């Protein structure tokens, strides 16, 4: 008897992007229940991204989240804490559909992202099968590696002045799929903390968008409505808010409703 994966067939994030769709998601920093995949999918989101840079998720929690999401046909990504094999390759082997590396500033940084997130001949990710990233199935090495490279999103987060200066070099790296702006840290690096609509910041973001367009990479940003609307025509990957902000807004709405009752 031949075993077959039970994962629901759905367009991958890369397939959606290649078809011209803008993909939308949010950052998860608090929620541990794998059912968040159902809530996000039912709401129409394309993905959620677990934040392992500024939160404390362990690999067991992430594994359970990814297994649930992958079986549902929903995409879950991870912002890893740093640009190393023990985070990037291991997170992908745990079942994430892609990774985002913070503070990518140079071509060399971007090449390391690719080295650990993509299989040969694009990168040098270590091979294993029969795990959550292959729905616990084995297969021919070359087929699984090709499928992995076709599926995994490798995202370089651009959040410093040096990264903006090197945007074209970063975007030119084969295997990098997305350059995604982190506007808060970028404002710090540019000397205008918290002033995300400052012309200095807007010019820097526009430079990254232009580099993506020139090198045929996808452009993304995790920001509030004003910045997202400003660069709406350029954006391919749209992220807004976090689960903590969404919960806070919901709770505040109940309080406002209660206070308004006569």
- 54 catalytic? Reply is yes
How crowded is the C-beta side of 68, counted as CA atoms within 13 Å?
17
User: What is the secondary structure of 200-220 as a DSSP string?
Assistant: HHHHHHHHHHHHHHHTT-EEE
Cis peptide before 244 (omega within 30 of 0): no
Strands (E), 57-183: 75-79, 98-101, 153-158, 178-181
Scored b (16 or more CB within 10 A) or e, 41-77 reads: beeebbbbbbbbbebebeeebbbbbbbbbbebebbbb
Listed in sequence order, the DSSP H helices in 102-197 are: 107-117, 141-151, 161-165, 167-171, 183-189
- Tokens 């999918």, residue located: 41
Q: How many C-beta neighbours within 10 Å does residue 8 have? A: 10
Under 8 Å between Cβ of 157 and 79: yes
Cα(168)–Cα(143) distance, integer angstroms: 32
Active site residues: 54
């Amino acid at each position: 008897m031949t075993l077959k994966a039970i994962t629901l067939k759905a367009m991958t994030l890369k397939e959606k992007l290649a078809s011209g769709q803008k993909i939308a998601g949010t950052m998860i920093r608090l929620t541990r229940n794998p059912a968040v995949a159902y809530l996000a999918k039912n709401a129409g989101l394309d993905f959620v991204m677990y934040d392992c840079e500024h939160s404390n998720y362990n690999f067991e929690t992430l594994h359970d989240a990814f297994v649930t999401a992958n079986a549902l046909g929903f995409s879950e990504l991870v912002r890893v804490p740093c640009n190393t094999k023990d985070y990037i390759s291991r997170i992908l082997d745990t079942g994430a559909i892609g990774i985002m590396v913070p503070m990518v500033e140079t071509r060399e940084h971007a090449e390391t992202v690719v080295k650990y997130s993509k299989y040969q001949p694009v990168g040098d990710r270590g091979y294993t099968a029969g795990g959550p990233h292959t729905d616990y199935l084995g297969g021919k090495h070359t087929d699984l590696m090709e499928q992995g490279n076709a599926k995994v999103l490798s995202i370089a987060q651009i959040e410093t002045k040096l990264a903006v200066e090197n945007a074209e070099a970063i975007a030119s790296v084969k295997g990098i799929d997305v350059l995604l702006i982190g506007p808060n840290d970028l404002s710090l690096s540019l000397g205008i903390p918290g002033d995300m609509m400052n012309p200095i910041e807007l010019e820097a973001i526009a430079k990254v968008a232009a580099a993506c367009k020139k090198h045929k990479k996808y452009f993304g940003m995790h920001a509030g409505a004003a910045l997202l609307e400003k660069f709406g025509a350029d954006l391919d990957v749209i992220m807004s808010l976090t689960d903590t902000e969404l919960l806070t807004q919901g709770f505040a709405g109940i309080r406002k409703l209660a206070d308004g009752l006569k």
